[in-house]
Amino acid sequence: MGFVNRIRTVHLANKAEAELAGYQKTERPQLLDSAIAGLEQLVLPEFTPPGEPAAAGRHFRLADALRMRYESLEDAADLDRALRHAEIAVALPPATDDVRVGSLLLHATILYIKANGSDAPGDVAAALAAFDLARAAVPESGFPMRDVVSSAIASQSAVMLAARFRHTGDVADLEEARIRSTAALEGEFFSEADADAALSNLALVLGDLAELRADLDLAEQAVTLGERLVDVAGLPAARRSTLLANLARFRELRYELGGDLADLTAAADAAAASTESLAPDDHAAVALVRLNTLAAVLMRRYEAERSLDDLERVKVLFNHVVRHPATPEADRRSALTNLAWAFRTHYGVTGEVKVLDDALVLVSYAIAKAEEQADGVDPDDPSFRWTLDQLGVLLRLRYEATGDVEDLEAAETAGRRASNGSLHDPVEHGGHAVNLATIVQARIARGLEPDEHRAALDETVTLLRAGLAVTAGGPDRVGVQANLADALIERHALLGDGRDLAEALALCRDASASTAGTPQQRVRAARTLGMTAPDPHDALQAYRRALDVLRDAVHPAIERAAREAVLHEHRGLAVEAASKAIAAGDPSAALELLERGRGVLWSQSLRFTADLARLRVEHHELAEDLLSVHVDLDRLATSGPTRFGGADSRADLRRALSTRRTSLLEHIRGLRGFESFQRLPDAAALAGTGSRGTVIVLVIAEQRCDALVVDGAGVRSAPLPVTREDVHELAAEMLTTIDDIYDPESAVVNARKTFAAQLSRLYDAVAGPALDAAGIPSHGTADDLPRVWWCPTGVLGLLPVHLAGTHTGTGNAVIDRVVSSYTPTVRELLARGESQVDVSWDDVLVVNPPHLEGTAELEGAGAEARDVVDRFPHARALVGEQATADRVLDALSTVSWAHFACHGVQDLDNPSQAGLVLKDRALSFDEIAAAATRPGAAVVFSACDTARGGLPVLDEALTLVAAARFAGFEHVVGSLYSAHDLVTAQVMARFYTALSAAEPGTDRVARALHAAVLAVRADQRGRAPDTWGGLVHVGW
């Protein structure tokens, strides 16, 4: 090489080094581009002839510069060229040990980058081989960079070992990855960023091991490292996003192993933050991955908590990924399947078959797009099998909804295709096997010949055992345990093999006790154990566990509709448990179990209770703080946007308020004398409710029907001469008859005769025997009849038990034996205690809106309202145009007595949508429940359906009457069905006359209503009881 070339060589080398140094300080891409151009010129034969001692070093520098530009721009050509020059550097004789080791390490690092991008087994193997060569080349001594280089090799090779584990399933690779990651952290690093990368690698390996072994301790370690990493200041946005996404995964994993729902919320927060740390326009592909991660975490939280806000966010996020132009086609197909999964879940809430149809369109499209690929469907593609699996599940659900056998056959075909295609991977196969088992179970339910039935049951058990064998822990395992227990119980019923029953009971015990399962899974397992356990003590303990977990599952952090959906899913649980206790000869336990599982939603909103009244006296600020939290939770009970922001803000506020509520309750219960504040009363306390009268709880269960009588003698049970099927049939008939009576096109006279006959049947089958069991005389003096509080369960809550009997001629009727009131639960009477509020007739509100277009004319409502106003001259009248929702709400919070003469609306399928029709809009159930800020004396709803609940959650008493009662009013009067307004006006006139003449006392509201109804019945000669008998009293 001539002198000039030597000078030019030195100049090129120095210039390139200076530009590289400048780029590393400023990250100006022009400097890196110029350095690469200079280095490419420098390695030409003109400047680096054969045998040049510096050749290896120069190719090394060029490869490293190309690697840096690839990491900035992600141009695959740069990575390919970097690899080529690194290979040249490795092949050339090195000038020094530094160059030799550096070239080998750089070569391995570039292969590592390539393998990370492709995840191809060949690339992973090549990277691992290169790291082994680099590690072998590091001198034992005399090499100043030994610790730094060794740490880099150990850290990056650990990542490749973890990648190889994902391909081969060889746990030894994962263990070696942990060893190398740990060793790397004991050494030194080129930079702080490299040290953080090594720490991140270890966290990922610990997460993989925790998932593999279902090891909560390892998950804890991964979370700790993840939290440490995201707390580092000054992280680049993309790096911070990655670390937050990893932390979300670790927290979700810890939830799955430990069952702490707080981890799921923390995981959702981290996943959301990981999306916010990126600018989507600059990092579209990565941002879409983050959104997908967030959607998956929210879906998991929905499965645990059933918050509809979460489900809606999941659908929005998956839909965004599907529609985004930057989404790779394979990811789009996966997102389509995930979106269908969300729709499938939504179907579980609504039961609308159209939702299933929409989900099937999405999955079918994803399958068609996969099959349209030029090279066909990759047989090793697990995402395609996941799509087939979901197709099978969706078709099975639609079959169960519609009975279309073709759907069931197609479901089994898809499920078997997914299951059989994954036999080489036990973990994947286990997941498909579980879903295939549900399809086989649907075929069994359709009806099979004995031999086919047994074979199908055997296959179901085999499939579920395959799923259980590879499900290490968490909610998935608990769900499989419950499914397998059901299959074993069914096989035991068919074949009588005691081993099946013993295994099923053991599975249920394990699943119901697991803290890792979702509340719904644990309730299901405990309920199955309660139904199946041969020992009554074990059965009742299982039911107690199921009811306690259910109460925890419907916490105020989720919207009411979601809580109602959970309660609907487990409907009848408390009644079933009580029936078991009655059969075991323990009526006190039956009452306690009923109280654990009924009125759950209202128990979360009890504000004006006796213990709260005492708290307000002794710790006023604490009581007001708790009251404020409850009011805010009630106002946020529905989903959707609020003045605080979108649905996300509403959900976050609910969670924060729920946490605050829990903290306040814990603090209050730590005070002397308040240890049992708002806790469920025990059996002895519940029995004490009968000291002031008789409470009759009507228990209508599949196994048996009984009356639980609570009076001064304690708690006892008596069988009723009726079956649940009889009661359901009578309820359906009576509800139809009531509709017919108020249908202008029906034969009203015949419908009223039918209704009278049905009341007689209700008396003979239920009310009469219950009163006999309570020792109530068959006749009494009208002025001195005993009080009875009816507490019906199930569909009886929709029927007029207080009106049962014969009202013309001879015969018995409830109204002639007792003064009836209703209570949604026994503990509600106990919690409220005796009347805390005196009636002030100077503090009365009367509401009577004008006739509105599209509603029936209420001929008697106006006269009724004027009569009440005339009786109480100081009453505040919101009549006609003045009867707006906001004015009524403001007034309700200040009055002691309110009277409504208007239309009421109720939806049997959606009872929390009940309302009162006012001038401008309906006053909703939620608004009434949250209206009062102090106790009031009474509300009279002279309006249709205000005491009628709904079918989905019959034992929750979601009625306008209950809303007013729990809002703080001591007495509430309302109607069980559509009211005849002219006759109702007569009842109201008699009611207020009797009330004004009555002596002060807690009985006077109930007795005044009873006297009014008796008087109008006499006027009507007992005819048409639907017109005068629908009004009921709730309260003491």
* Lookup: tokens for 116: 């990370």
* Lookup: tokens for 386: 């996941």
Distance between CA atoms of 1001 and 839, rounded to whole angstroms? 10
* Lookup: tokens for 646: 């979108």
Which residues have CB under 8 Å from 704's CB, separation 6+?
579, 582, 583, 719
Report the half-sphere exposure of 907 (CA within 13 A, side-chain side).
9
Distance between CA atoms of 796 and 294, rounded to whole angstroms? 45
Query: Which helix (H) or strand (E) is 941 found in, with range?
Result: strand 936-942
Whether 69 is covered by a domain: the verdict is: no
Whether 656 is covered by a domain: the verdict is: yes
Report the half-sphere exposure of 853 (CA within 13 A, side-chain side).
0
Query: Which helix (H) or strand (E) is 708 found in, with range?
Result: strand 705-711
Distance between CA atoms of 435 and 455, rounded to whole angstroms? 18
- Lookup result for tokens 């510096």: 54
Whether 176 is covered by a domain: the verdict is: no
Distance between CA atoms of 400 and 349, rounded to whole angstroms? 15
Question: What is the chain's length?
Answer: 1036
Tell whether pTM > 0.85.
no
- Lookup result for tokens 């009836």: 820
Provide the H-helix boundaries in 619-776.
Answer: 620-635, 647-669, 683-687, 724-741, 748-762, 768-773
Which neighbouring-strand residues pair with 900?
Answer: 847, 941
Same domain, yes or no: 853 and 824:
no
Taking the alpha carbons at both ends of the chain, their separation in whole angstroms is 110
Distance between CA atoms of 965 and 1036, rounded to whole angstroms? 11
Here the CATH number for the domain that contains residue 800 is 3.30.420
Rounded to the nearest 10 degrees, the angle between the axes of helix 3-26 and helix 29-42 is 150
* Lookup: tokens for 412: 């089994």
Whether 583 is covered by a domain: the verdict is: no
Domain that includes residue 902, residue range: 840-1035
Same domain, yes or no: 884 and 1017:
yes
Whether 78 is covered by a domain: the verdict is: no
Query: With the CA atoms of 225, 230, 233 and 238 taken in that order, what torsion angle do they form, in degrees rounded to the nearest 10?
Result: 130
String of b and e for 674-710 (b: at least 16 CB within 10 Å)? beebbebbebebbbebbebbbbbbbbbbeebbbbbbb
End residue of a domain, out of 776, 797, 829: 829
Same domain, yes or no: 764 and 817:
yes
Distance between CA atoms of 444 and 439, rounded to whole angstroms? 9
Q: What strands lie across the sheet with 876-879, from one edge to the other? A: 714-719, 705-711, 694-700, 787-792, 819-822, 1031-1035, 969-975, 936-942, 897-901, 844-848, 876-879
Which neighbouring-strand residues pair with 897?
Answer: 844, 938
- Lookup result for tokens 């009526």: 587
**Three-state secondary-structure class, residue 942:** strand
Q: Characterize the bridge pairing of strands 922-924 and 915-917.
A: antiparallel
Distance between CA atoms of 1003 and 1010, rounded to whole angstroms? 11
What DSSP character marks residue 916? E
Q: Are 901 and 937 in contact (CB under 8 A)?
A: no
pLDDT of residue 773: 96
Distance between CA atoms of 1004 and 992, rounded to whole angstroms? 11
DSSP line for 959-983: SHHHHHHHTTEEEEEEESS---HHH
Query: Considering only CA atoms, which of 402, 438, 405 is closest in space to residue 419?
Result: 438
pLDDT of residue 641: 41
Considering its fold, how many domains does the chain have in total? 3
**Three-state secondary-structure class, residue 949:** coil
Greatest pairwise CA separation for the chain in angstroms:
132
Same domain, yes or no: 822 and 705:
yes
Same domain, yes or no: 907 and 982:
yes
Same domain, yes or no: 942 and 1025:
yes
- Lookup result for tokens 């499989």: 480
- Lookup result for tokens 């390919």: 80
* Lookup: tokens for 381: 């593609």
Question: What is the amino acid identity at position 180?
Answer: R
Whether 740 is covered by a domain: the verdict is: yes
874, burial (CB in 10 Å: exposed 0-12, middle 13-18, buried 19+): exposed
* Lookup: tokens for 829: 């009477």
pLDDT of residue 647: 47
Here the CATH number for the domain that contains residue 985 is 3.40.50.1460
* Lookup: tokens for 379: 């047989």
Whether 553 is covered by a domain: the verdict is: no
Report the half-sphere exposure of 134 (CA within 13 A, side-chain side).
35
**Three-state secondary-structure class, residue 614:** helix
Q: Are 491 and 497 in contact (CB under 8 A)?
A: yes
* Lookup: tokens for 662: 């829990």
Same domain, yes or no: 819 and 844:
no
Same domain, yes or no: 719 and 815:
yes
Q: Work out the number of other CB atoms within 10 angstroms of the CB of residue 69.
A: 21
Which residues have CB under 8 Å from 138's CB, separation 6+?
101, 146, 149, 150, 153
What is the 3 state secondary structure string of 457-490?
A: HHHHHHHHHHHHHCCCCHHHHHHHHHHHHHHHHH
Whether 940 is covered by a domain: the verdict is: yes
Query: Considering only CA atoms, which of 409, 303, 317 is closest in space to residue 348?
Result: 303
Q: Characterize the bridge pairing of strands 705-711 and 714-719.
A: antiparallel
Same domain, yes or no: 910 and 794:
no
End residue of a domain, out of 638, 669, 700: 669
End residue of a domain, out of 601, 636, 669: 669
Distance between CA atoms of 260 and 979, rounded to whole angstroms? 49
Query: Considering only CA atoms, which of 516, 536, 511, 537 is closest in space to residue 526?
Result: 511
CA-to-CA separations, 493 to 453, 794, 851, in angstroms, rounded: 12, 28, 61
What DSSP character marks residue 798? G
Same domain, yes or no: 644 and 711:
no
DSSP line for 320-356: HHHH-TTS-HHHHHHHHHHHHHHHHHHHHHH--HHHH
Query: Which helix (H) or strand (E) is 1015 found in, with range?
Result: helix 1004-1019
Q: What strands lie across the sheet with 915-917, from one edge to the other? A: 903-905, 915-917, 922-924
Same domain, yes or no: 877 and 1008:
yes
Q: Are 605 and 678 in contact (CB under 8 A)?
A: no
Q: Divide the 1036 residues of the chain into consecutive groups of 10 and give the mean pLDDT of each group.
A: 72 89 90 92 88 90 93 90 94 83 92 89 94 90 82 92 87 93 87 85 93 89 94 82 93 88 90 78 71 89 85 90 85 89 89 93 91 73 90 96 95 95 88 95 93 95 93 80 95 94 95 85 94 95 94 82 86 96 96 92 70 86 87 68 46 82 92 88 81 90 95 93 96 92 80 94 96 90 88 93 88 92 88 58 89 82 92 91 91 88 85 86 80 75 87 84 82 88 92 86 88 93 89 91
pLDDT of residue 643: 33
925, burial (CB in 10 Å: exposed 0-12, middle 13-18, buried 19+): buried
Q: Are 827 and 680 in contact (CB under 8 A)?
A: yes
Rounded to the nearest 10 degrees, the angle between the axes of helix 382-402 and helix 426-446 is 10
* Lookup: tokens for 1007: 């007795």
Same domain, yes or no: 947 and 1015:
yes
What DSSP character marks residue 831? H
**Apex 116 CA angle, 110 and 120, nearest 5:** 105
